[in-house]
Structure 1
């Protein structure tokens, strides 16, 4: 090590230059984060994202079951509170129209919730297909305002792009 003022050779740990009295330059700052740090940081973000996909899938399933129970009661049961032209299954397209709607809605709820749970599992396992499934699930849930939209944006920002693709491949 040499003095930055006069060029005199300095011993290690010497606070000032013995010739000119100039203080020794501060040590260089610590090294910038390397690839291992970036991959570890990205792995934590992917783990958090997968946890939220699990929560979203379970919440979608639970709310879908509750909503479809009410819809089934409304469309097919009628009950004492249903009065009007559709009372007791008198639908314009036939008596089985209400149950057909309910069956279709059940399939959609199970598929949407299943896709969210599979996306969470794929991201948690860091499987190569998990990234693709999560991106597809994000595009399909982007119109589910507000939770689906927020989760979709977070997923797309986290998983898309060259840098994120290469970091995910490193996992």
Structure 2
């Protein structure tokens, strides 16, 4: 070691310099520099970059809505049959289906037509809902066809038809649906 005051060579055990008497400062071992902190993690990617494609995001909801629409079609069909029956037969069920008839003959023929249309549209709606929920390969095409037919059933069918066409009709949606379709 070297005395800081006079520059004389001193041993490490002494506390004062034998030449000048100045206190000897023991130099501490060099302190290593602090470790460099790791780089900050990269910022999170924007939300739009991590979102699932449009078809994958909306397919589950679309299937559920089509099943609900099928139930809605059955309920509205039953209400329509009930109203036509009351208008036609002027009773709530006392005479059965073939009882006294007070309305126009075309009204009697309308009852089975309402029943058939309600059953067919409800069946198609349930079939579209099932095919979309199960990711059937034919579900997209059936969904587009039934959505076009549902556009006529204002307001709920129109809204569901527009939503279905927005999700399933574009060409990119066809490629997305093919990628996630269940081929079993």
- Which TM-score applies when normalising by structure 1? 0.68
* Among candidates 108, 128, 144, match of residue 153 of structure 2: 144
Alignment of 1:22-37 (within 5 A): 29-30=43-44, 33=49
Who is 2:52 aligned against?
38
Contact kept in structure 2, 1:42 and 1:167, CA below 8 Å? yes
Give the deviation of 1:72 after TM superposition: 1.6
Give the deviation of 1:133 after TM superposition: 1.2
RMSD in angstroms over aligned alpha carbons?
A: 2.7
Q: Structure 1 unaligned segments of length 5 or more: list them.
A: 1-10, 16-25, 81-86
SS in 2 for 1:144: coil
How far apart, in 2, do the equivalents of 1:90 and 1:149 lie? 32
Per mean C-alpha deviation after superposition, the further-off stretch among 97-106 and 49-58 is 97-106
How far apart, in 2, do the equivalents of 1:155 and 1:103 lie? 30
The alignment of Structure 1 onto Structure 2 pairs a total of residues equal to 137
The runs of at least 4 consecutive aligned structure 1 residues that moved more than 6 Å come to: none
Q: Structure 2 unaligned segments of length 5 or more: list them.
A: 1-34, 93-99
Assess, with a 3 A threshold, how the Cα gap between structure 1 residues 55 and 13 changes in structure 2: closer, same or farther.
Answer: same
SS in 2 for 1:128: coil
Q: Does 1:49 align with 2:62?
A: yes
Contact kept in structure 1, 2:55 and 2:168, CA below 8 Å? no
How far apart, in 2, do the equivalents of 1:61 and 1:130 lie? 21
Assess, with a 3 A threshold, how the Cα gap between structure 1 residues 70 and 122 changes in structure 2: closer, same or farther.
Answer: same
Give the deviation of 1:73 after TM superposition: 2.1
Contact kept in structure 1, 2:128 and 2:142, CA below 8 Å? yes
Larger Rg: 2
Who is 1:23 aligned against?
none
Who is 1:7 aligned against?
none
